[in-house]
Chains A and B, each alone.
Chain A
Amino acid sequence: MSDPNPVPPSPAVNRPAYLDHAATTPMVPEAVAVLTEMLGRTGNPSSLHASGRAARRVVEESRELIAERLGARPSEVVFTSGGTEANNLAIKGLYWSRLAQDQARRRLLFSAIEHHALLDPVLWLGKEQGADVVTTSVDRDGIVRLDDLRTTIESDPGSIAAITTMWANNEMGSVQPIAEIVALAEPHGIPVHSDAVQAAGHLPIDFAASGLEAMTVTAHKLGGPIGVGALLAVRELDLMPLLHGGGQERDVRSGTLGAPLIASFAAAVDVAVRHREVEAARVEGLRERLVHGIAALVPDAIINGPDDRALRLPHVAHVTFPGCDADAMLMLLDARGVEVSTGSACTAGVPQPSHVLLAMGYDEESASSSLRLSLGHTSTDDDVDRALAALPEVHARASAARAVRQR
Chain B
Amino acid sequence: MSTGGLRLIAAMSGGVDSAVAAARAVEAGHEVTGVHLALSRNPKSYRSGARGCCSIEDSNDARRAADTIGIPFYVWDMSDEFADTVVDDFIAEYEAGRTPNPCLRCNEKIKFAAVLDRALVLGFDGVVTGHYAQVHENDEGLVEMHRAVDMAKDQSYVLGVLTQEQLRRSHFPLGGSTKPDVRREADERGLQVATKPDSHDICFVADGDNAGWLADKLGPRPGTVVDESGTVLREHDGAYAYTIGQRRGLRLGVPADDGKPRFVLDIEPVSGTVTVGPREHLLVDALDGIKPLWCTDVPAGVLDCSVQLRAHGAEHRARLHVVEGEQTVHVELLDPAEGIAPGQACVVYDGTRVVGSATISATHRRAVSPA
Chain A residues close to B by CB (< 8 Å):
8, 327-328, 331-332, 334-335, 346-351, 397-398, 400-401, 403-405, 407
| B59 contacts A400, C-beta separation under 8 Å | no
* Cβ of B42 to closest chain A Cβ, rounded Å: 9
Instruction: Kindly name the residue among A327, A335, A349, A405 whose own CB sees the greatest number of chain B CB atoms within 10 A.
Output: A349
Residue numbers in A under 8 Å from B75 (CB-CB):
346, 348-350
Q: Does B370 contact A (CB under 8 A)?
A: no
| B123 contacts A397, C-beta separation under 8 Å | yes
Residue of A nearest to B54 (CB): A348
7 nearest A-B residue pairs (beta carbon): A349-B75, A400-B121, A350-B38, A348-B59, A348-B56, A348-B43, A404-B117
Q: Does B366 contact A (CB under 8 A)?
A: no
CA distance A404 to B115 in the complex (A): 10
Residue numbers in B under 8 Å from A404 (CB-CB):
117-118, 121
Q: Does B177 contact A (CB under 8 A)?
A: no
| B121 contacts A331, C-beta separation under 8 Å | no
| B118 contacts A347, C-beta separation under 8 Å | no
CA distance A309 to B274 in the complex (A): 72
B9-20 CB mask vs A (1 if < 8 Å, else 0) is: 000000000000
| A349 contacts B121, C-beta separation under 8 Å | no
Residue numbers in A under 8 Å from B38 (CB-CB):
348-350
The one of A335, A350, A407 that contacts B77, using a Cβ cutoff of 8 Å: A350
Take A397-B121, A397-B122, A397-B123 as given contacts and tell me if A331 and B67 are in contact as well, using a CB distance cutoff of 8 Å.
Answer: no
* Cβ of B63 to closest chain A Cβ, rounded Å: 8
* Cβ of A321 to closest chain B Cβ, rounded Å: 15
Instruction: Kindly name the residue among B63, B67, B79, B123 whose own CB sees the greatest number of chain A CB atoms within 10 A.
Output: B123
Q: Does B72 contact A (CB under 8 A)?
A: yes
The one of A8, A349, A401 that contacts B122, using a Cβ cutoff of 8 Å: A401
| A351 contacts B77, C-beta separation under 8 Å | yes
* Cβ of B211 to closest chain A Cβ, rounded Å: 28
| A350 contacts B79, C-beta separation under 8 Å | yes
* Cβ of B99 to closest chain A Cβ, rounded Å: 29
Residue numbers in A under 8 Å from B36 (CB-CB):
349
Residue numbers in B under 8 Å from A327 (CB-CB):
74, 76-77
* Cβ of A20 to closest chain B Cβ, rounded Å: 15
* Cβ of B314 to closest chain A Cβ, rounded Å: 38
Residue numbers in A under 8 Å from B43 (CB-CB):
347-348, 350
The one of B56, B59, B122 that contacts A398, using a Cβ cutoff of 8 Å: B122
Q: Does B241 contact A (CB under 8 A)?
A: no
Q: Does B101 contact A (CB under 8 A)?
A: no
CA distance A404 to B36 in the complex (A): 19
Given A327-B74, A347-B56, A398-B122, 5 extra CB contacts under 8 A? A335-B33, A348-B59, A350-B77, A351-B77, A405-B118
Residue numbers in B under 8 Å from A346 (CB-CB):
75
Tally the A-B contacts, defined by beta carbons under 8 Å. 53
Q: Does B114 contact A (CB under 8 A)?
A: yes
CA distance A328 to B67 in the complex (A): 20
CA distance A348 to B55 in the complex (A): 8
Within 8 A of A (CB), among B193-222: none
CA distance A327 to B72 in the complex (A): 14
| A405 contacts B114, C-beta separation under 8 Å | yes
| A349 contacts B74, C-beta separation under 8 Å | yes
Residue of B nearest to A350 (CB): B38
Within 8 A of A (CB), among B34-75: 36, 38, 43, 55-56, 59, 63, 67, 72, 74-75
* Cβ of A407 to closest chain B Cβ, rounded Å: 8
Residue numbers in B under 8 Å from A401 (CB-CB):
118, 121-122
CA distance A400 to B75 in the complex (A): 19
Residue numbers in B under 8 Å from A8 (CB-CB):
67
Residue numbers in B under 8 Å from A334 (CB-CB):
72
| B72 contacts A328, C-beta separation under 8 Å | no
5 A/B residue pairs, CB under 8 Å, sorted by A: A8-B67, A328-B122, A334-B72, A347-B43, A349-B75
CA distance A350 to B56 in the complex (A): 10
* Cβ of B53 to closest chain A Cβ, rounded Å: 12
| B122 contacts A332, C-beta separation under 8 Å | yes
Residue of B nearest to A407 (CB): B117
Residue numbers in B under 8 Å from A405 (CB-CB):
81, 114, 118
Residue numbers in A under 8 Å from B79 (CB-CB):
350
| A331 contacts B77, C-beta separation under 8 Å | no
CA distance A326 to B248 in the complex (A): 50
Residue of B nearest to A368 (CB): B77
Residue numbers in A under 8 Å from B117 (CB-CB):
404, 407
Instruction: Kindly name the residue among B33, B59, B121 whose own CB sees the greatest number of chain A CB atoms within 10 A.
Output: B121
The one of A328, A332, A349 that contacts B59, using a Cβ cutoff of 8 Å: A349
Residue numbers in B under 8 Å from A332 (CB-CB):
122-123
* Cβ of A341 to closest chain B Cβ, rounded Å: 14
* Cβ of B124 to closest chain A Cβ, rounded Å: 10
CA distance A403 to B121 in the complex (A): 10
Residue numbers in A under 8 Å from B74 (CB-CB):
327, 331, 349
CA distance A397 to B118 in the complex (A): 9
CA distance A404 to B33 in the complex (A): 20
Residue numbers in B under 8 Å from A351 (CB-CB):
77
Residue numbers in B under 8 Å from A328 (CB-CB):
118, 122
CA distance A350 to B63 in the complex (A): 13
* Cβ of B355 to closest chain A Cβ, rounded Å: 28
Instruction: Kindly name the residue among A332, A346, A347 whose own CB sees the greatest number of chain B CB atoms within 10 A.
Output: A347
| A335 contacts B72, C-beta separation under 8 Å | yes
Residue of B nearest to A334 (CB): B72
* Cβ of A309 to closest chain B Cβ, rounded Å: 35
Residue of B nearest to A331 (CB): B74
Residue numbers in A under 8 Å from B72 (CB-CB):
331, 334-335
* Cβ of B86 to closest chain A Cβ, rounded Å: 16
CA distance A348 to B46 in the complex (A): 12
Residue numbers in B under 8 Å from A407 (CB-CB):
117
Residue numbers in A under 8 Å from B56 (CB-CB):
347-348
B113-129 CB mask vs A (1 if < 8 Å, else 0) is: 01001100111000000
* Cβ of B85 to closest chain A Cβ, rounded Å: 12
Residue of A nearest to B42 (CB): A347
CA distance A155 to B200 in the complex (A): 59
